[in-house]
Structure 1
Amino acid sequence: MAGIGFQLQELFKEDYYSSRFKAYLYSLFVTAGPWLIVILTILMLQLLLQAVPDVTAENKQLFMISVSYCFMFSQVLFGFQQLVVTRYVADCLYEKKEEKVFSSFLGFSAVTIAAAGLLWLIFALLSPIGWDYKLLMLSLFIMLNLIWVMLLYLSGAKNYQAIALSFLAGGIFSIGFLFLCMKWFPFFEGEWSAAWMMMGSFTGGMAITFFGLVVSMLKTFPDRSATAPFAYLAYFDKYGLLAFTGIFYNAGLWISNWIIWLNSGEWLLGTFRYHPSYDTALFYAYLTILPTYVIFVVSIETRFYERYKTFFSFINDGGTLSQIMKSKTSMILVLKQELERLVRYQGFISLALLILAVLLLPLFIKADSVLDLFRITIIGAFFNGMTLIMMLLLLYFDDRRGAFRTALLFFSGIAITTVVFLPAGESAYGTGFTLGSLISFIYSSARLFQYVGKADYYAFCRSHKTRSDGPFHRLALKLERWI
């Protein structure tokens, strides 16, 4: 993220409103550009098929749920390795061992493909839907997993423009391909042909995005050594808490959906479990915290990062005790100011949307159950976003134990409270998500300022115990010998 901060700092040096506007636009581009492009692509595919009279709502539902499953489980699968690999790549770059970076990408991709293939195989054997559709889902699922992998490396190399352009090209291809199929090859005779066409168009677009990112990877990393591609696995022995932090946080995003699906969800084609009202409400609630990530990147990566860098430079380069204490006080002050501003701005946005959902939206939208759940999940999404920010800041200071406990509390808090409120009925479904997010936010906030208050002590006196040899190190050696 420091690379983003450097470019934002240049924009903020010019004290003009236009420069600040550019900084916020750039932050939006970095944090949410690909995500928004994917959402708009899906919406456009659905709008295009509205012109076809024989396309049923069930076709659109099958397409949406299939894509949702692919995104959901690819995120959870990727989350287990995400933070560990990030740490490994960061260490390689810090130690000037760039030749190891691309090699780790090859190993990371191989492990990801194997895990994704195994997960899909379980799904395919249990699902009664046709194998043609299953294979289409397999293509999308594997490509999404590999796209997340490449995003990690390209973001680390600050190649944000290539990322956004690849997603934009994929979105344009998906929409254009479906439009051409509708105009020149209008075959909608089969019951689920429309869903197949939407899925095929979207998967084709993701393939364009995938190949665009592959080209960017080859250009970004000219030193493409393939020696020791599985060496990064040894970091799971050294930084195992990072793996569990990633998996618990990503699973925590969806655990309330899974519990509600099992309790009162509906079946589609005997394969997909879902709850229309809750899934829709939670999706829109997540969209409301988009400003959180934009403001975080702008505020934390500019003012706070400068103080953070100064504090640790005094520690690493032999600053005096007075310099260290003064820089720590300044860092904590700016951190509090930026977090207060973040909470204030996002709080105002969430409150405004909540009032809108209570007073105005019922006049135009008749889906009462979705609106009721949306009102409570707006609040939960606010605390969810704040929890993520606190967890990222804990990782800034290498408080891996604090970040792990936050992720575990996030997952378990949402799971337990969701189960507790199940007997209250559908109107209370979002309560567990909100309370679990609130609990993890309170803990992570207290942990962050307790830890930062002793940042000098932890930097000088406390060391994390890590293992240089363990089961993952031995697994890496076996895989190296095998290939």
Structure 2
Amino acid sequence: MAGIGFHLKRLFKPDTFLDNFRAVVYSATIASGPIFFSILCLALLGLFAKSGIEPMQFDIFTVTIVYIFAFSLIATGTTQLLLSRYLSDLIFAKNYESIAPTLSTALVFTILIQAIFGLPFLIWLNASFFYRLTAFGLFIIIGCVWQLMVFLSAVKNFTSIVWAFFIGVVISFVLGYFLAQSFGLSGLLHGYAVGQFLIFLILLWRVLSEFNSTLPPTLAMFAFMKKLPALILIGLFYNLGIWVDKIIFWYSQTGENIDSFMYASSLYDNAMYLAYLTVIPSYTYFLVKVETEFYSYFRSFFQTILNKESLGLIESKKEKIGNVVRESLLGLIKVQGLVTIICLFYSDEILLALNMSHLSILIFEKALIALFLQMLALTLMIFMMYFDIQKELLVVGFVFVVSNIILTAFSLILGIQYYGYGYLFANLLTLSTAYWYLNRHLADLEYNTFIKQVSRA
């Protein structure tokens, strides 16, 4: 799936600031589009649309969006890795005709799953039927956008992807603002949902126009699911691990009931969400620089084996893979480390400018370090996916979610000064586990490669 990174890499040119700036914008959008633009839109609506509704109603709106993003990501996380792997196999086999039918099947499956998990929005919210119906529909739309992001990594015309998010955010903001003045809370959510639906339609059009096909929808991905069931659990564990500490805080003594089943812990949530914005540079760097370089050496190693080259050459290629992994980690440490250090240094000024409390500053500082560790852990996990060591990845994902649950609960018992340490140490433990497994696999890479083929045979 490194293909789009190579296309983006070609945009970067020496001594041309505007071209490089454009490349950075494209890369950042593709790497973190749904999250970044949604946070931007919510921030703008918070600044301008509050005049049309009561503060408590705006809280209901923002928490609704958070719940939609959180639980749609957890629900679709079960199939995203599977889709990525299946799509990669189709592209490798140059079976482009099957991409559109696979997308159709994936979207129908996603709509069904999202409709089931989205029923609480339709049934239990203490809001108007129009608001509940819009929240239910938005939950389905966002789930479909998550799945489309998998297919967009194979699209060559990424300019349209950037424009899709830009136009969608503008529509969400403008309609949300004006409808809030006339229809209050329901109008605000409906305006936001229209913009998100437009993003979905543009992205869907982009994929279908690039991979048009006359084939009917196919169920082949479900047969593929039986061969690689571990990918379902890996995706579930990782996405649940990202959100489980927030969920624990929502329903703890720090949480506040916003509406029906929806809770929020503003002290913890705001600091965490703000810290998440700091990893966008690393996502961009990984997409354009790290993954493309790793893939080049990765492919070269296996091509050497397929060409039946000498053991000495194979060992030389293996050593280069180890070197590129270490250099990739070092590069990410430099990029994310610089951003993290700057944000730590100016954390007081940043959060005070946003009218956040001193306690939020302490959580924000821990969150910055936690996300620095999480970015490194995610990089190692993606490298592990390339080597197809699924049992080890399953252990890493399990360590992430379980340690986050235990350590977050423990931090709540210890008291407010320890909030955030649970997520920090869970990421440290996950990073250590991933590093140990990957390092062990790389040490015997040639043996592991050959023995895997023998076991499959």
- Matched residue type, 2:399: L
Q: CA deviation at 1:23?
A: 5.0
| Residues 63 and 195 in structure 1, CA contact (< 8 A), matched pair in contact too | yes
Q: CA deviation at 1:268?
A: 1.3
Moved more, 245-254 or 104-113: 104-113
Give yes or no for the alignment of 1:164 onto 2:153: no
| Residues 298 and 321 in structure 2, CA contact (< 8 A), matched pair in contact too | yes
CA distances 1:187-236 after superposition (whole Å, capped 9, x unpaired): 3xxxxx53222211100101111221222232122114115x22211222
Change (3 A) 1:224 1:453: farther
Change (3 A) 1:366 1:32: closer
User: Aligned partners of 2:393 and 2:119: how far apart in 1?
Assistant: 33
Residue matched to 1:47: 47
Aligned residues: 455
Residue matched to 1:472: none
User: Aligned partners of 1:151 and 1:117: how far apart in 2?
Assistant: 20
- Matched residue type, 1:253: I
Q: Which has the larger radius of gyration?
A: 1
**Please, which of 248, 259, 275 is the counterpart of residue 259 of structure 1?**
248
TM-score by length of 1: 0.87
User: Aligned partners of 2:362 and 2:80: how far apart in 1?
Assistant: 35
Residue matched to 1:222: 212
| Residues 166 and 212 in structure 1, CA contact (< 8 A), matched pair in contact too | yes
Higher relative contact order (CA 8 A, sep 6+): 1
Consecutive unaligned residues of structure 2, counting only runs of 5 or more, are none
Q: How does 1:291-440 map to 2 (within 5 A)?
A: 291-358=281-348, 361=351, 365=355, 367-440=357-430
| Residues 4 and 301 in structure 1, CA contact (< 8 A), matched pair in contact too | no
- Matched residue type, 2:238: Y
Residue matched to 1:27: 27
- Matched residue type, 1:117: A
**Please, which of 238, 241, 255 is the counterpart of residue 227 of structure 2?**
238
RMSD (Å), alpha carbons: 2.4
| Residues 83 and 243 in structure 1, CA contact (< 8 A), matched pair in contact too | yes
Q: CA deviation at 1:240?
A: 0.8
Q: CA deviation at 1:439?
A: 0.3
User: Aligned partners of 1:94 and 1:242: how far apart in 2?
Assistant: 19
User: Aligned partners of 1:364 and 1:148: how far apart in 2?
Assistant: 29
Q: CA deviation at 1:41?
A: 1.9
Change (3 A) 1:11 1:453: farther
| Residues 129 and 271 in structure 1, CA contact (< 8 A), matched pair in contact too | no
Residue matched to 1:248: 237
User: Aligned partners of 1:243 and 1:67: how far apart in 2?
Assistant: 25
| Residues 154 and 220 in structure 1, CA contact (< 8 A), matched pair in contact too | no
Change (3 A) 1:174 1:126: closer
Residue matched to 1:479: none
Change (3 A) 1:35 1:97: same
User: Aligned partners of 1:139 and 1:464: how far apart in 2?
Assistant: 48
- Matched residue type, 1:232: M
Q: CA deviation at 1:9?
A: 4.7
User: Aligned partners of 1:243 and 1:318: how far apart in 2?
Assistant: 34
Residue matched to 1:144: 142
Q: CA deviation at 1:60?
A: 1.5
User: Aligned partners of 1:174 and 1:348: how far apart in 2?
Assistant: 33
